[in-house]
Amino acid sequence: MQQNTGFAAYFRPDKLEDSLELLSRQSLRVVAGATDIYPARVAHRAWANPQLESWLDISAISSLQGITTTATGWRLGALVTWSDLLAADLPPCFNALKAAAREVGGLQIQNRATVAGNLCNASPAADGVPPLLCLDAQVELASAGGKRVIPLAEFILGNRQTMRRSDELLTAIIVPSPGSTALAGNSLDSRFFKLGARKYLVISIVMAAGLVQWDENKNLVDCRFSIGSCSPVAQRLTAFENDLAGLNLDDMARGSLAVAELVTLDHIEFLSPIDDVRADAIYRRNAAVACLQELLESHVSFYRASVS
Amino acid sequence: MSLSDSSQNVLSSPEVKISFCVNAQQLQLSIDPFATLADLLRDSLQLTGTKIGCEAGDCGACTVLLDGKQVCSCLVPAAQCDGREVTTIESGSASTLRDENLSAEQARQKRILELLQQTFHVCGAAQCGICTPGMLMSAMDLLLVNSNPDRREVEDAIGGTLCRCTGYIKIVDAVLAASELLAAGKCHAAGYKPAESVLADTGAKQNLKIVGLPVPRVDGWPKLDGSERYGADKAPADALWLRLVRAPYAHAVFELGSFDPLISRFPGLVRVLSAEDVPGHNGFGIYPDIKDQPVFAAGRVLYRGEPVLALVGEKSVVESISESDLPITYTPLPELDTMDKALADGAMRLHENRKDNILINGRVKKGDSSVFDRDDILSASGSWQTAFVEHAYIEPEAGFARRVGDRIEVTASTQAPQMDLEEVANVLGVAHDAVRIIPSACGGGFGGKLDVSIQPALAVAAWVLGQPVRTVLSRIESMCSSTKRHPASIRATAVASREGDLLGYRLNGDFNTGAYASWGPTVAGRVPAHCCGPYKVDNVFCETRAIHTHAPPSGAFRGFGTPQAAIARELLYDQLADAAGLDRLQFRYRNAFRAGDTTPTGQTLNASCGLAECLDALRDDWHTMRQECDEHNAAAKAERNGGPSGQLLKGAGIACMWYGCGNTALSNPSTMRVELAADGRIIFYNGAVDIGQGSTTVLLQICAEALGLPIDEFNLVLGDTDLTEDAGKTSASRQTFVSGKAAQLAGEDLRHQLLGFLGANTDAKLSVDRKQGELVASMELSELRKPLAQLPSVTNTRGAEVIAEGVGCFDPPITALDENGQGKAYATYAFAAQICQVDIDLRFGRIRPRRFVAAHDVGRAVNPQLIEGQIHGGIMQGLGMALMEEYVPGRTENLHDYLIPSAGDVPHIDIKIIESPEPLGPYGAKGVGEPALVPTPAAILSAIRDATGIVIDRVPVIPSRMHAELRRAGF
């Protein structure tokens, strides 16, 4: 009865402390770009199940804006939108995340939706997760009681589930620098591949991100790969990474066959793709392998071109 | 803002104050912070130029600029607008602000928008116009930061905004045209008038020979400046809000309790309506004898989303009521969700009087069926499955109704005002003349707005309550309840002589017509008549059935079942061509109908039979395409194991179609009127609804040429059933042909009378000299004049005194079909052939059409630009049907799970217009609306087969299905 006679509250504080104080006292829906919350409301309303929740709108908290360089890497404030990210001057290790940014909805969404919101919404098809997993990103959670920093890989627990407690706010995404050589030149390369059934405005069927570093002897000294939309949470491919470690460019046969054959179904066997309207699980498995092949081929050919 | 101070207090107030700038005007408003910017603009500021298409960021119709960047206004909380700057479509040519009142940046923005508005107009970039404001905002966002974009950059910029009509091509053309003008510094003239377009003026408006010219839409400007009023854009200020309560089950029985507790619990809820409140017959439907779809379900629901109740009252109140608040007790029942289940022995019946859940059977039988058993022939067989396809017009159903004394008026988005009138009269139990339908602008139809949707419920509510009532469906409601393209299950066999002459065609097709009849009988009837395609086949045996299932009703959708049937046929003919050793185009050319041939319904085609010409026009492109594909594929095969380029195959596809314009073997008249009013105005009364295809422009061009006056002289009265005659529905590609002929006859009738008043020759040039108040006929050497006041006076059809009225009525000559489907099914047929080139990537199974060449015999191109627009849009809808669109009840009832083509999915399209004049048509013209789509899916599948050898038997061919086929075929 309460829901029909009362009204929901809309809080829009401009100080982080006030937000945390509010969160410590009541359950609130956290809103920034609002690109996920309105569609959900519309769906509820269409089926006669209107939701009445109070909102904590964090968009006025200026301390949550901006991308800053730190001693160990970068810090993306919770209000950084995909467009902010695209406009920022960032090194090549962010190319995959930027490529993902270009494929999140249309420009209208990119101008509004935040990267942090993408993580908190925790969709299995969240475009930001695979690139950020490759960056070994962490999230900073703040509450009235203090702060904690958690690896992204641990933060998202499942479909629409995260470790964020209801009294916490995700205040920043922390990206550690992927090594000293990474910033020096083109030995580091990061890429993103999204497979969808149309060009724009598409939810991925499968997506993959990769980050590789080659040393001066053309050895692969660091490689990180992840796959999204094939499990409740996007996953790093540790076994695959281990198999690739130490490979030398000159040892690879010319032509991409050899490169493509480095990827096998075994590498993604631990994933748990589902059947849905976009594709069936078998296809997703095969496409995940093919996404990795595409990524690896373009990593290799890019590097080959840069050293030749 | 004030909210930030209140964080330590208990709650925010329901309304908060914000201060923001809209279109260069600073405003302070009290707002509901949860409301969206779109609601704020439309409801609080009456800036209805911003449209709402999905409320989910999936369509971009609501795009505005927020601090100069494009955003979906449906996703911006009103609270976040505080201190921001918002720019909407109304900031362009509709703005009354002068440059001196604008900042330099605001003035620059205004000029860019105005320039885009002009180029959109001249390029024909707006069809129905519902996406246009959003599209213009997206384009403006681009040109503000990039004045010299390439095609790809334009696509990127508008990629978040969907258009269902244009196929995006003319939109991108228009943005590029604007950028070129911008680069050339040609946007200095502030305060231009649309007529003074900075682009090349066609000069058409003054031309008397206007049939054949690419006249920009005469109703185009309101679509560009935001002033057009669609179903959701206006309603009386005191209108109550109506919300339909929809069943969450596909099949259930239910009981209703008392509504009194609900009404007392929710002040502001005025009335709850159910089946027993319907004053007349609680049923509607396309066919006069099949009114089977209830306004409100009576105890039983047959599809998910079927309306059970209407809640009428204050909007915020009726929208806050939950399912759990309502006194409805459902008992879910097993559902027959496939045709196989519905046809199974002992299956329950959806409708008691429809045995085996078969609504209707359709049939064409001609010739000798033993031809299929001959062993000296080539034969090909197969079976195909197609999906439910959603129209996905960007404007969801919306409108209002009001009672005026003993009459009811319904203003809504529709394709068929006269049919709406009959449905409303029936539902209310009142005479036809007690109903007035006033069509709003229609934001896309494609067949989906031929059936009534909201109109009966609105009419019942307004009638019962005596107060205006309005509603706007959400995207989800629209998708779950509106009609769909029939899923088809087709088995077919085609046989030909070894030389490649078609001998016989046999088709058995079941069409899933959903829970109610809608247009099921039409599909079951149209498919047999068209099944063997535009080819001479002497032995044709076709049986169709429309089958009920627990799904939303399937209705009319661009082609009425013939695109589904074309897939089967064209793929079979490809196989016969290969078997006969003939090129696929040549096979079709060899068998193409020519004038004098007889159709499967026994009708002789006397004229306007331009398929062979269409194929001739494609020949060069076809050979180039085939050669490119063959060369690429040979190289790819060599490299299959050697590199990524070996992962791409190319294929060339071809398909033809024919399409009977107008109803199948049923009377289908249209009446048009044009008059010289007592004050000297020429008034054209046109009851045909322009749903974006351009009939308002085309019919005016025809009438103007027939009357012999320039189109600028005309005043238009459109659609309103109290003011215009029955022009029939906007369907079956009939308006140009049928209403066009009526418009020509009306124009000629008035011309004849006016020349008679002056005693002038038939070739005299007519004009009305309004300054002098005289009617004038100019001949080469002389001029005749008469004061208007001295001309006779007559009472027009609607009882007004006018100088003269010209009336034209045309009912295409057809005959009824006998039990074997024999007779003159249609008065004329459009013909077309399309070829395409597609890329298929073997790794992912993605299919990417790269190029189309479409040759269409339109009889006479009354307006080539509008025809191109129809062909672009039809091909893109066909592409969607072939590759991505599948409506699954309960699963894809939004525009992010149900995908329609975006601006990045468009192939290059070349168009060849063929004019094989139709003697019955106006100036030789016939239709093109549906023909544009009919062959497209078949052509794409033909190309897939060319590339891979695989005969696709199920659409849409989403990547996973193509990939599975490729694996099965050993790729």
Q: Which residues pair with B777 in a beta bridge?
A: B766, B784
- The predicted-structure confidence for B81-133, as pLDDT tens digits, reads as follows 999 999 999 999 889 898 889 999 999 999 999 999 999 999 999 999 999 99
3-state class (DSSP) for residue B166:
coil
Shortest distance between the Cα of B310 and any Cα of chain A, in A, equals: 12
- In angstroms, the CA B588 to CA B577 distance is 8
Q: How far is CA B509 from CA B495, B826, B942, in A?
A: 18, 21, 20
Residue B8 has pLDDT above 70, yes or no: no
**Does B367 contact A at CB distance below 8 Å?**
no
Residue B321 has pLDDT above 70, yes or no: yes
SS (H, E, C) chain A: CHHHHCCCCEECCCCHHHHHHHHHHCCCEEECCCCCHHHHHHHHHHCCCCCCCCEEECCCCHHHCCEEECCCEEEEECCCEHHHHHHCCCCHHHHHHHHHHHCCCCHHHHCCCEHHHHHHHCCCCCCCHHHHHHCCCEEEEEECCEEEEEEHHHHEEECCEECCCCCCEEEEEEEECCCHHHHCCCCEEEEEEEECCCCCCCCCCEEEEEEEEECCCCEEEEEEEEEECCCCCCEECHHHHHHHCCCEHHHCCCCHHHHHHCCCHHHHCCCCCCCCCCCCHHHHHHHHHHHHHHHHHHHHHHHHHHHC
Flag the least confident range among A255-264, B31-40, B526-535, B606-615: A255-264
Q: Please provide the DSSP assignment of B563-594 as one string.
A: HHHHHHHHHHHHHHHHHHT--HHHHHHHHB--
Residues in B closer than 8 angstroms to A199, CB to CB, are: 155, 159, 902-905
Residues in B closer than 8 angstroms to A288, CB to CB, are: none
Confidence at B64, pLDDT banded by 50, 70, 90: very high
What is the set of domains in chain B, with CATH numbers? 1-205 (3.10.20.30), 240-335+394-481 (3.30.365.10), 605-659+827-968 (3.30.365.10), 670-810 (3.30.365.10)
Flag the least confident range among A269-273, A296-300, B576-580, B853-857: A296-300
Flag the least confident range among A257-266, B320-329, B669-678, B938-947: A257-266
The answer to whether A256 contacts B643, with C-beta atoms less than 8 Å apart, is: yes
Residue B329 has pLDDT above 70, yes or no: yes
Q: How far is CA B102 from CA A263, A288, B137, B143, B186, in A?
A: 60, 53, 19, 19, 20
- Could you tell me which residues come within 8 angstroms of residue B845 by beta carbon, excluding any fewer than 6 positions away? A283, B959, B960, B961, B962, B963, B964, B965, B966
Q: Which two tokens stand for residue B69?
A: 């960047």
Residue A286: which of B245, B905, B963 has the nearest Cβ? B963
For residues A29 and A77, state if they share a domain. no
Q: Which of B705, B868, B930, B965 is catalytic?
A: B930
Reported ipTM: the value is 0.96
Mean pLDDT computed over A22-47: 95
Q: Quick one: DSSP state of residue B314?
A: -
3-state class (DSSP) for residue B401:
strand
- The predicted-structure confidence for B764-778, as pLDDT tens digits, reads as follows 999 999 999 999 999
Q: Which two tokens stand for residue B327?
A: 């006194």
For residues A258 and A276, state if they share a domain. yes
Q: Which two tokens stand for residue A168?
A: 């916490």
For residues A20 and A132, state if they share a domain. no
**Does A60 contact B at CB distance below 8 Å?**
yes
Q: Is B353 exposed, middle or buried (0-12, 13-18, 19+ CB in 10 A)?
A: exposed
Q: Which two tokens stand for residue A20?
A: 């945390």
Mean pLDDT computed over B583-600: 98
For residues A84 and A150, state if they share a domain. yes
Q: What is the pLDDT of residue B820?
A: 97
Residue B167 has pLDDT above 70, yes or no: yes
Q: What is the pLDDT of residue B641?
A: 59
- The predicted-structure confidence for A87-136, as pLDDT tens digits, reads as follows 999 999 999 999 999 999 999 999 999 999 999 999 999 999 999 999 99
**In chain B, pLDDT over 70 holds for what percent of residues?**
96
Q: Quick one: DSSP state of residue B348?
A: P
The vertex-B934 CA angle with B930 and B935, nearest 5°, equals: 140
Q: What is the pLDDT of residue A308?
A: 77
**Does A63 contact B at CB distance below 8 Å?**
no
The whole domain housing A298 covers 185-307
Shortest distance between the Cα of A148 and any Cα of chain B, in A, equals: 24
Q: What is the pLDDT of residue A48?
A: 86
Q: What is the pLDDT of residue B208?
A: 80
For residues A301 and A212, state if they share a domain. yes
Instruction: Give the CATH number, domain containing residue A225.
Output: 3.30.390.50
Residue A2 has pLDDT above 50, yes or no: no
Q: Which residues pair with B857 in a beta bridge?
A: B831, B914
| CB proximity under 8 Å: A 68-87 to B | 83
**Does B246 contact A at CB distance below 8 Å?**
yes
Backbone angles phi, psi at B158, to 5 degrees: -100, 5
For residues B540 and B509, the answer to whether their CB atoms sit within 8 Å is: no
Residue B909 has pLDDT above 50, yes or no: yes
- In angstroms, the CA B287 to CA B519 distance is 8
| CB proximity under 8 Å: B 44-103 to A | 55-58, 60, 63, 66, 69-72, 74-77, 79-80
Alpha helices in B124-225 (DSSP H): 132-145, 151-158, 169-183, 221-225
Residue A283: which of B8, B321, B963 has the nearest Cβ? B963
- In angstroms, the CA B212 to CA B208 distance is 11
For residues B252 and B301, the answer to whether their CB atoms sit within 8 Å is: yes
Q: Hey, of A108, A285, A289, which one would you mutate to test binding to chain B, going by the most B CBs within 10 A of its CB?
A: A108
- In angstroms, the CA B443 to CA B414 distance is 9
Q: What is the pLDDT of residue B3?
A: 44
- The predicted-structure confidence for B182-227, as pLDDT tens digits, reads as follows 988 775 433 333 333 444 445 555 678 999 999 999 999 999 999 9
Mean pLDDT computed over B700-707: 98
For residues A243 and A280, state if they share a domain. yes
Residues in A closer than 8 angstroms to B36, CB to CB, are: 38
Other Cβ atoms within 10 Å of B919 Cβ, number: 10
- In angstroms, the CA A170 to CA B906 distance is 40
For residues A20 and A81, state if they share a domain. no
For residues A189 and A93, state if they share a domain. no
Residue A163 has pLDDT above 90, yes or no: yes
Backbone angles phi, psi at B172, to 5 degrees: -65, -40
Q: Quick one: DSSP state of residue B595?
A: T
Backbone angles phi, psi at B699, to 5 degrees: -65, -35
Count of CB contacts below 8 A, A vs B? 227
Q: Which two tokens stand for residue B75?
A: 């996703």
Q: How far is CA B660 from CA B43, B562, B814, in A?
A: 44, 11, 11
Q: Which residue has the higher pLDDT, B202 or B863?
A: B863
- Could you tell me which residues come within 8 angstroms of residue B507 by beta carbon, excluding any fewer than 6 positions away? B490, B491, B492, B527, B528, B531, B532, B541, B542, B543, B544, B565, B568, B569
The nearest alpha carbon in chain A to B844 belongs to: A287
Q: Quick one: DSSP state of residue B194?
A: G
Confidence at B638, pLDDT banded by 50, 70, 90: confident
For residues A43 and A70, state if they share a domain. no
The nearest alpha carbon in chain A to B479 belongs to: A46
3-state class (DSSP) for residue B441:
strand
What is the rounded average pLDDT for all residues in chain B?
A: 95
CA B945 to chain centre: 30
Residue B899 has pLDDT above 90, yes or no: yes
Residue B1 has pLDDT above 80, yes or no: no
Q: What is the pLDDT of residue B13?
A: 53
If one counts the domains in chain A, the total is 3
Residue B904: which of A46, A199, A287 has the nearest Cβ? A199
Q: Where are the beta strands (DSSP E) in B535-669?
A: 539-548, 648-660
Q: How far is CA B621 from CA A3, A59, B767, B838, B855, in A?
A: 65, 55, 47, 14, 11
pTM over 0.90: yes
Confidence at A6, pLDDT banded by 50, 70, 90: low
Which residue among A159, A176, A193 closes a domain?
A176
- Could you tell me which residues come within 8 angstroms of residue B964 by beta carbon, excluding any fewer than 6 positions away? A280, A282, A283, B845
For residues A152 and A240, state if they share a domain. no
Which residue among A117, A151, A176 closes a domain?
A176
- The predicted-structure confidence for A231-241, as pLDDT tens digits, reads as follows 999 999 999 99
- Give the torsion through C-alpha atoms of B393, B398, B404, B409, to 10 deg: 10
Q: Hey, of B5, B32, B75, B263, which one would you mutate to test binding to chain A, going by the most A CBs within 10 A of its CB?
A: B75
In this structure, the strands spanning B252-256 and B328-332 are antiparallel
Confidence at A4, pLDDT banded by 50, 70, 90: very low
The answer to whether A277 contacts B888, with C-beta atoms less than 8 Å apart, is: yes
Shortest distance between the Cα of A5 and any Cα of chain B, in A, equals: 9
Which residue among A176, A201, A226 closes a domain?
A176
Of B625, B587, B573, the closest CA to residue B942 belongs to B573
For residues A189 and A298, state if they share a domain. yes
Of A247, A243, A248, A250, the closest CA to residue A266 belongs to A243
- In angstroms, the CA B435 to CA B420 distance is 9
Of A42, A52, A44, the closest CA to residue B36 belongs to A42
For residues A104 and A37, state if they share a domain. no
Instruction: Give the CATH number, domain containing residue A138.
Output: 3.30.465.10
Q: Quick one: DSSP state of residue B8?
A: G
Q: Where are the beta strands (DSSP E) in B67-147?
A: 69-72, 85-87
